[in-house]
Amino acid sequence: MKSARRRSREFTVQALYQWQLAGQDLDDIEKQYVAMEGFEKADAKLFSLLVSGVIKHQDPLREKLTPFLDRPWDEVSPIERAVLLIAAHELISMTDTPYRVVINEAIELAKSFGGTDGHKYVNGVLDQLATQVRAEEIAFQGGTPATPPKPRAAKNVPTVVTKVRRVTKTTEKP
């Protein structure tokens, strides 16, 4: 079962895809999606926050993402652009959602709606963005988005070194 938040993100990807291709007005898009079948199972507030936030802040979001892209923005597929914009908005403006959740959700959206390896591209870009905009959260958790946290060594504990001597025992055969 999909959570209401996952459904909201799915509707948001579709709405932003439509917005990119058709250039529809924000109010028209929201009205259309709120009336769609299945929308009642989505988190309407999150959908509204994501769609309006991305559309209103598209230029600053794109500027934050651009240094981590390997191609011009216009050459990124519309689905991947939508997913990247949603995740960038969440990473920057909605800090109550852990960065790992934001990245994981974006990967799942890219798998569902995007091209074959689009999720890998989305993951790589968002890992880099997260290290920039969520540095404190990442440091607090002791890792980076791409690598899991390492166990921390105890402070002021002496290291004990032991030597092992190997002894081989031979037995006589009767």
Dihedral class, residue 38 (left if φ above 0, else alpha if ψ from -120 to 50, else beta): left
State the Cα–Cα distance between residues 107 and 50, nearest whole angstrom.
17
Half-sphere exposure of 24 (CA within 13 A, CB side): 18
- What DSSP string describes 80-103? HHHHHHHHHHHHHH-TTS-HHHHH
Encode the chain (174 residues) as per-residue pLDDT tens digits.
789 999 999 999 999 999 988 887 888 888 888 888 889 999 999 999 999 999 999 999 999 999 999 999 999 999 999 999 999 999 999 999 999 999 999 999 999 998 889 999 999 999 999 999 998 888 887 755 554 444 444 444 444 444 445 545 555 555
Which residue's entry shows tokens 């009642």? 40
- Res 116: pLDDT: 86
- The pTM is what? 0.78
- Res 135: pLDDT: 86
- Res 41: pLDDT: 93
Sign of dihedral through CA atoms 31, 32, 38, 44?
Answer: negative
- Res 81: pLDDT: 96
Please list, residue by residue across 99-128, b when 16 or more beta carbons sit within 10 angstroms of its beta carbon and e when fewer do: beebbebbbbbbbebbeeebbebbbebbbb
- Res 163: pLDDT: 47
